[in-house]
Chains A and B, each alone.
Chain A
Amino acid sequence: MTILVFTLILFGAALVAGLLGSLTGLGGGVVIIPLLTLVFKVDIHYAIGTSLVSVIATSSGAAAAYVREGIANIRLGMFLELATTAGAIAGAWLAAYMPTEIIAILFGIVLIISAGLSFARLADPVTSGPSGVLAAKLRLNSTMPTEEGKTPYFVKNVVGGFFMMNVAGIISGLLGIGSGAFKVIAMDNVMRIPFKVSTTTSNFMIGVTAAASVGVYLQRGYIDPGLSMPVMLGVLGGALVGTRVLTKARTTSLKIVFAFVILVLAVEMIYNGIAHQI
């Protein structure tokens, strides 16, 4: 297989990963790393660097659309980025000292949790009642556009959400994924905000979180242009198409299929980690 063929296959796979990732809200990164390591036998360090780059591309590309629609809560995102960037930097440093087998096993476990979380019953958003003191002080409460006009919602448990975001940041920096599933759970089930707001705000934050750790990866030489080029362009193209259909499509059945794919990849990653084949 020449570099030309390798690049084209990688581009096609990244296109599909980006589309599915944006439709399900799980992000393309969760498939990119197993794809590179298991299918193309790429070293996991390169795979993580490549994934981080694609994560920044999708997040920024999709966020550009969401932000203009006024769904994402930028103030909330900005506040929580304090937690995710701190976590991401810690995670990136941790990754340098961790054996690749352990990273692979951790990655598999996080994949399984992510897939499981995407089926977790979401708590109903808080749309009435008094606002929390901290949420009001930080001006986190907002409105979202619906068919009946702007609907207000209130943010609960700011401290719990902040802590959960810190964990999401560490996972992102350590494993090179956006860890969108963890971010969405932090906002849905802990902070009780509407699903559309949490997914779009999470997407908005992922780029900054990844940018915080990517500097460490770049310096260590984990970011390879030959891999990043087809993956970034592919994932971005897929994600842009995904964003266009997201507001119309029902994603439940897609989620099941994607979660199953992720589960298989996760088991494979864990197995390879234990068998020292990664």
Chain B
Amino acid sequence: MKKRIQDTDMEKVIGYLLRYGVISASLVVLAGGIVYLYRHGHQLPAYREFHGEPDKMRNPRLMLEAVMRGEGRPLIQLGLLILIATPIARIAFSIFGYLLEKDYLYTVLTVIVLLAILLNF
């Protein structure tokens, strides 16, 4: 009889979370990559100088709008956002898990890490 959530249960969920996060991010990136190569594959790359990415590659809302217009590069970028969100989601889930384990020390530690990351986006 298990009374409460154990570390091993959390490990299982974290494992699945990371796995499906990475898989879905890869699929979106791949889809965006196919559209990108179809539209721009014959052109020449220009990466020698740093220009910085335009706003539609930085802002999630503008990214979505560009994806709706059928652009590939913002779709790749959206996949990358899913990828970046994966370890962050893992931390958010850990907070929940430590709360259920009644491990308040680690709940606080994890909240601090999550806040530090989110405040820098």
* Interface secondary structure of A, over-half rule: helix
| Candidates B8, B76, B117; contact of A211 at CB < 8 Å | B117
Which A residues are CB-close (under 8 A) to B47? Answer: 36, 40-43, 46, 224, 226-227
**B121 and A215 contacting across the interface, CB-CB below 8 Å:** yes
Which A residues are CB-close (under 8 A) to B7? Answer: 74-75
State whether the Cβ of A3 lies closer than 8 Å to any Cβ in chain B: yes
Given A60-B18, A221-B57, A212-B120 contact (CB < 8 Å): yes
State whether the Cβ of A207 lies closer than 8 Å to any Cβ in chain B: yes
* Interface secondary structure of B, over-half rule: helix
CB nearest neighbor in A for B49: A43
Which A residues are CB-close (under 8 A) to B26? Answer: 57, 232-233, 236
| Candidates A6, A68, A207; contact of B12 at CB < 8 Å | A68
Q: Count contacts on B: residues with CB < 8 A to the other chain.
A: 61
B residues lining the A interface (CB < 8 Å):
7-8, 10-12, 14-16, 18-19, 21-22, 25-26, 29-30, 32-33, 36-37, 40-45, 47-54, 57-58, 72-74, 76-77, 80, 83-84, 86-88, 90-91, 94, 103, 105-106, 109-110, 112-113, 116-117, 120-121
A residues lining the B interface (CB < 8 Å):
1-4, 6-7, 36, 40-43, 45-46, 53, 56-57, 59-61, 63-65, 67-68, 70, 72, 74-75, 78-79, 81-82, 85-86, 89, 92, 138-139, 207-208, 210-216, 218-230, 232-233, 236
